[in-house]
Amino acid sequence: MAMEKHDIKTREDIELMVRSFYDKATRDDLIGYIFNDVMKVDWPKHLPVMYDFWDSLLLEGTYKGNAMQPHFAINKLVPLETPMFQRWLQIFEATVNELFIGETADLAITRARSISEIMNFKMNIINHPEQQKGNIPLVNPGNQNG
Ligand code: HEM
């Protein structure tokens, strides 16, 4: 029998979400190479950090890092542009919607949207200082979940 979709409730759910997200993101034609080739991510080290990050945002985790910080370093190697954040978000939302349904799943998407919006804004200021009004919304305002 196929499993009914449920909400994000446990650490196991968070881990499944994060692993499924990276499974897609690392194969993606627009952003995959940043993880695989540019940053050569140390997955056994990075995955638990991401479990803690999402656990802290959604359940009861203990992430104490700075989520923005590594992206400034990445941005020096590969400028992180709006279409990349749109793709990141598209993959994240597809992953959550594929696996889960409920309030916490909606919250995951809302949080991802606002953080990627801020991250994109910060990178745009660095990458396109001449475009004072160059911030392009990642999500159509008519299409927000929360
Ligand atoms: C195009 C978009 C993005 C790319 C290419 C990207 C890529 C990466 C890479 C390569 C790392 C470093 C992994 C390592 O330690 O080697 C990282 C870390 C991280 N990313 Fe992203 N990222 C993106 C967007 C986001 C967004 C939107 C969020 C949050 C919603 C996010 C959350 C994080 C967090 C929490 C870390 C770990 C920070 C720490 O070490 O404490 N990323 N990302």
Question: From CA 113, how far away is CA 49, in angstroms rounded?
Answer: 19
- Written as one letter, the residue type at 48 is P
What per-residue confidence (pLDDT) applies to 134? 54
Query: In the chain, where are the structural domains located?
Result: 11-59+71-143
pLDDT at 69: 95
Nearest Cα to Cα of residue 58 among 121, 100, 3: 100
Residue 74 identity (one-letter amino acid): I
Q: Angle of helix 11-25 relative to helix 82-99, nearest 10 degrees?
A: 130
Q: How many CB atoms lie within 10 A of CB 130?
A: 5
CA atoms within 13 Å, Cβ hemisphere of 35 = 18
Q: What is the pLDDT of residue 71?
A: 98
Q: Which candidate, 124, 117, 119, places its Cα nearest to that of 144?
A: 117
Q: Which CATH class is domain 11-59+71-143?
A: mainly alpha
Within 10 angstroms of residue 37's Cβ, the number of other Cβ atoms is: 9
Contact assessment for residue 17 and residue 96, using Cβ atoms and an 8 Å cutoff: yes
C-alpha 35 to ligand 1 mean position (Å): 9
Would you state the pLDDT for residue 138?
78
For a substitution probing ligand 1, which of 71, 117, 118 has the most ligand atoms within 8 Å of its CB? 71
Instruction: Provide the pLDDT for residue 70.
Output: 97
Whether the CB-CB separation of 120 and 85 falls below 8 Å is answered with: yes
The pLDDT score that the predictor gives to residue 146 is: 46
Handedness of CA 18, 15, 47, 55 (dihedral sign): positive
* Residue 36 region by backbone torsions, left for phi larger than 0, else alpha for psi between -120 and 50, else beta: alpha
List pLDDT tens digits, range 5-38. 999 999 999 999 999 999 999 999 999 999 999 9
- Which residue's alpha carbon is at the smallest distance from atom 10 of ligand 1? 35
Ligand 1: distance of its center to the CA of 67 in Å? 7
User: What residue ranges of the chain have pLDDT lower than 50?
Assistant: 146
